[in-house]
Structure 1
């Protein structure tokens, strides 16, 4: 991820915070609940793209699924930023740990874009 990505996430976090009047512990609660909502929308889009709801048929396309997955990622990043102003470093360190335990050593490379 680029620094621009995390700058945008910080701006979204600031915008959301400015438009709500919640104590910090409730702010993170609602950010995590919003993440659950977005995951549900991604699932709904997959069901719609595959036509698995006989009442609705094919109601979504794979572009809808991709968009919903992006919303999940953005919402998770904003929730992480709500927990810590150092969200980029926390994410990079965690991604490195996951890659180190999951990928063969030759496949583990830099996790950030210079």
Structure 2
């Protein structure tokens, strides 16, 4: 399943290249898109917790999770657009975090 995610990331980056180009400005837009998506997470959280008394509860935790997934996917597309393998970058990040937690590295599944 993980390979399917990274295949979709690469396909999305290629699709954006074909439709929007791949120059410096487009790369900047893809990076800024991560921030836009994060704002949608914040809006969903506010809606899920009813923090806007005028609107009340307008979202679910499932909506928040879906918005978080949008952030993650958008970030992976930006990494791919920078010319890096998102799977390698995420694996390196996971290893860094695991090292900080002083827990054994996870074994088992692969992302191939």
What range is the shorter-chain TM-score in?
A: 0.7 to 0.9
CA contact (8 A) 1:96 1:111 kept: no
TM-score normalised by structure 1 residue count: 0.85
Q: Following the alignment from structure 1 to structure 2, what is the Cα–Cα distance between the partners of residues 19 and 31?
A: 13
Q: What is the 5 A alignment of 1:59-98?
A: 59-98=58-97
1:13 aligns with 2:13: yes
Alpha-carbon distance between aligned partners in 2 of 1:9 and 1:30, rounded to the nearest angstrom: 16
Aligned length: 111
TM-score normalised by L of structure 2: 0.87
Cα-to-partner distance string for 1:59-88 (whole Å, 9 max, x where unaligned)? 111121111011011001101111124222
Where in structure 2 are there 5+ consecutive unaligned residues? Answer: none
Structure 1 runs not aligned, ≥5 long: none
Aligned-pair Cα RMSD in Å: 1.9
